[in-house]
Structure 1
Amino acid sequence: MLTPHEVATLMLIDEATPNIKDLDRAAVHALIEQDLVELEDYDPGHWRPSITTRGSSILSAIARGR
């Protein structure tokens, strides 16, 4: 089960693909552990979070109200 803060973080990552340093590290780590988010190396030494297929499915379920 996701906390409200983790759901909000997942939504932020989906909407804006922000830089990892702009997000709550604990929430991002929890989402990575649950295979909802992964980190991609987009520039040497710079990582950004992106939604996995599983994370996208969770967001779709939330949008449908399930």
Structure 2
Amino acid sequence: MLSPHEFATLMLVKAAPDQIDPTREELDTLLEHQLVALEQLASGRQRPRLTSAGNSVLRALVRRR
């Protein structure tokens, strides 16, 4: 089960991936659960993006509301 902070980080990855601090602990958990992957940009920087599993989690969360 994800914590509220991890759910919030997952939603932030979807809405504003460029605004996420790459050192966020929640991001490590999402990477471990394969809900987020790191995308390599041409600039050499990495940006988090949702995986299909991450999208599924967010869709399930919306359905439960």
- Scaled by the length of structure 2, what TM-score is found? 0.88
1:38, 1:49 within 8 Å by CA — same for their partners in 2? yes
The structure with the largest strand share of the pair is 1
The count of corresponding residues between Structure 1 and Structure 2 is 65
Aligned in 2, Cα 1:23/1:46: closer, same or farther, shift over 3 Å? Answer: closer
2:48 alignment partner in structure 1: 49
Q: Deviation above 3 Å: which 4+ runs of structure 1? A: none
List runs of 5+ in structure 2 lacking aligned partners. none
What is the alpha-carbon distance in structure 2 between the residues aligned to residue 27 and residue 42 of structure 1?
21
Residues 10-45 of structure 1: per-residue CA shift (max 9 Å, x gap): 00000112255x255210010000000000001242
In structure 1, list runs of 5 or more residues that go unmatched. none
Normalised by the size of structure 1, how large is the TM-score? 0.87
Percent of residue pairs bearing the same amino acid type: 46
How much is the aligned-residue C-alpha RMSD, in angstroms?
A: 1.7
